[in-house]
Amino acid sequence: MADQRPNIVYLMFDQAKASAMSFMGNTEIEMPYCDHLAAFGWVFDQAYAAAPICTPSRASVHTGMFPQVHGATCHQNRVAYNLPQLAELLQGAGYYTAALGHYEPERNLSRGWHEQAPMHERGPLFDSWIAHIKSGRKDVAWSSGAIDCEAKDGNSALLTDRALRMLDQAEATGRPFFLHLAYDDPHPPYFVPRPYDTMYDPDNLTLPEAGDPADLPAWQAKARADVGTDLGSEVDFRKVLAVYYGMIRYIDDEMARLHKALSEKGLLENTWIILGSDHGDYTGEKGLFNKSESLYGCLLHVPMVIVPPAGAAEPGPRRIEDLVSTVDLFPTILDMAGITAPRNQGHSLLPWVRDGHEAPLREAVFAQVGDYHGFIGTSWPSGMPKSGRHPSLTHAIRTKTRSYINDPDNGDEAYDLATDPKELRCLTNDGQPDLPAEFAALQDQLAAFVQECADLKEDLGVVDGDRGFVKGWE
């Protein structure tokens, strides 16, 4: 008898923030395919990444653990060898597993895949990626423009071409499959193949608020200098936003190509589709660009959509406003496959949505990053400012109305999200009155969470992975 378990396709942007998504309310960008998914799926309006940079965020999805537990807290670290990973568990249960693009195999996330096509291996994917990351100025973070190639020859299109071949292979196995397509766009440099560089008129876009430096943490002044904010004009910054939106639209069109193939093969009747992003991007918020080891909403709030199989008896389209974390994807994906998840820090979203999600799944979400002791400084055009790296592990807790960040290197930060959703007025700055009493409870919750992570890591006997780098990439 044929295996009737559902297929699972996990589509991931790199560095796409929730506020840049049309289905999340951005009226200045068109995303026909993602809007289609949102119309037929479950949209999680308040999904937050476990970390604001690639490696720790992706590791959290694939292990169901927060960075303090899995050990890949920054770009320097590899994931612990003795934590089970998503693809391993699916493969062990009889799924055919395939991954391609930017999925961090160099960080020990290569286990459990029958087929892999990382973009950092020599070949067309690598060449197109190199053409991208070498674009732009090396003295500022905000340069933007066009990659000198047709869209069909850009990295994202080549990834889709490869994914279509992987889909043929997966179908030929006769097994249920898990396909993870991890695009690199809209990861900076802010450059994209034509015509996507001019698809959006910079003059028609709303620039993010930079804020008053007096209201922002003191360390950000150095970060803005590293970024080169003072060297750019409003025209430059508008162009960044236009190209960033163009990069997102490029991915939207490429994802649509894969969806069309799934439809033509008759696979949508029995295939879950998950849309997400590893983390966000400043794109001018706080006067910054790209990212840093900092725990703000623009870097943590990510798109998340789950579309059930067309032929499954699942709840219909809905928008869910309660807080969820990207660590929840680990047990959720295993639940889709009928696999009992090992011990982890996530919650399967399936029973919660099926039961009507009347009570919040989480009262707060957490994020962690840092413990960086490497040699990479400011690394434009594709990296982050030196002043945005943290030698200490930094922790954050967020509710719908408040955010508290424990930063041993630069001092703690607190924000009233009800009145300051963009986190532009730090309540711990000099001259500010004492924090409202409500923040004491957040501090206690955060301290308890940090201790929970430490206890879990010790209880599981987690051995941290090696520290190292991929030459030319971080």
Which residues, 6+ apart, have CB-to-CB distance to 43 below 8 Å? 23, 24, 304, 305, 317, 318, 319, 320
Please check whether residue 181 is in contact with residue 161, taking contact to mean a CB–CB distance below 8 angstroms: no
Which H/E stretch holds residue 182?
Answer: strand 177-182
Token readout for 195 is 């015509």
> Taking the mean position of all CA atoms in its chain, how far away is CA 253?
19
Does the pLDDT of residue 399 top 90, yes or no?
yes
Beta bridge partners of 413: 405
Q: What is the pLDDT of residues 160-184, one digit of tens each?
A: 999 999 999 999 999 999 999 999 9
**Percent of the chain at pLDDT exceeding 70:** 98
Q: What is the pLDDT of residue 473?
A: 46
User: Predicted confidence band at 348 (pLDDT cuts at 50, 70, 90)?
Assistant: very high
Report the distance separating Cα 453 and Cα 440, nearest Å: 20
122 CB neighbour count, 10 Å cutoff: 7
Report the distance separating Cα 115 and Cα 467, nearest Å: 26
DSSP 28: T
6 upstream amide cis, omega within 30 of 0: no
Range with the poorest average pLDDT among 344-348, 375-379, 410-414, 452-456: 375-379
Q: What is the pLDDT of residues 314-332, one digit of tens each?
A: 999 999 999 999 999 999 9
**Percent of the chain at pLDDT exceeding 90:** 89
pTM over 0.95: yes
> Taking the mean position of all CA atoms in its chain, how far away is CA 258?
20
> Taking the mean position of all CA atoms in its chain, how far away is CA 312?
28
Q: Which of 15, 12, 32 is nearest to 244 (CA)?
A: 15
Q: What is the pLDDT of residue 17?
A: 98
Q: What is the pLDDT of residues 215-263, one digit of tens each?
A: 999 999 999 999 999 999 999 999 999 999 999 999 999 999 999 999 9
Does the pLDDT of residue 474 top 60, yes or no?
no
Q: Give the C-alpha distances (Å, rounded to integers) separating 257 from 23, 90, 146, 149.
A: 19, 25, 22, 19
Average pLDDT value over all residues in the chain = 95
DSSP 431: T
Q: What is the pLDDT of residue 467?
A: 75
Q: What is the pLDDT of residue 77?
A: 87
Q: Which sign, positive or negative, has the C-alpha torsion 65, 393, 12, 363?
A: positive
340 CB neighbour count, 10 Å cutoff: 9
189 upstream amide cis, omega within 30 of 0: yes
Q: Which of 314, 400, 313, 310 is nearest to 349 (CA)?
A: 314
Domain 7-460 has CATH 3.30.70.1230: no
> Taking the mean position of all CA atoms in its chain, how far away is CA 103?
11
Beta bridge partners of 271: 7
Does the pLDDT of residue 155 top 60, yes or no?
yes
Token readout for 47 is 């999904």
- Across the range 395-424, mean pLDDT stands at 97
Please check whether residue 323 is in contact with residue 363, taking contact to mean a CB–CB distance below 8 angstroms: yes
Name the CA dihedral angle for 34, 38, 44, 47, rounded to a multiple of 10 degrees. Answer: 0
Does the pLDDT of residue 121 top 90, yes or no?
no
Report the distance separating Cα 89 and Cα 92, nearest Å: 5
Q: What is the pLDDT of residues 26-58, one digit of tens each?
A: 999 999 999 999 999 999 999 999 999 999 999
Q: What is the pLDDT of residue 225?
A: 95
Range with the poorest average pLDDT among 96-110, 165-179, 226-240, 430-444: 430-444
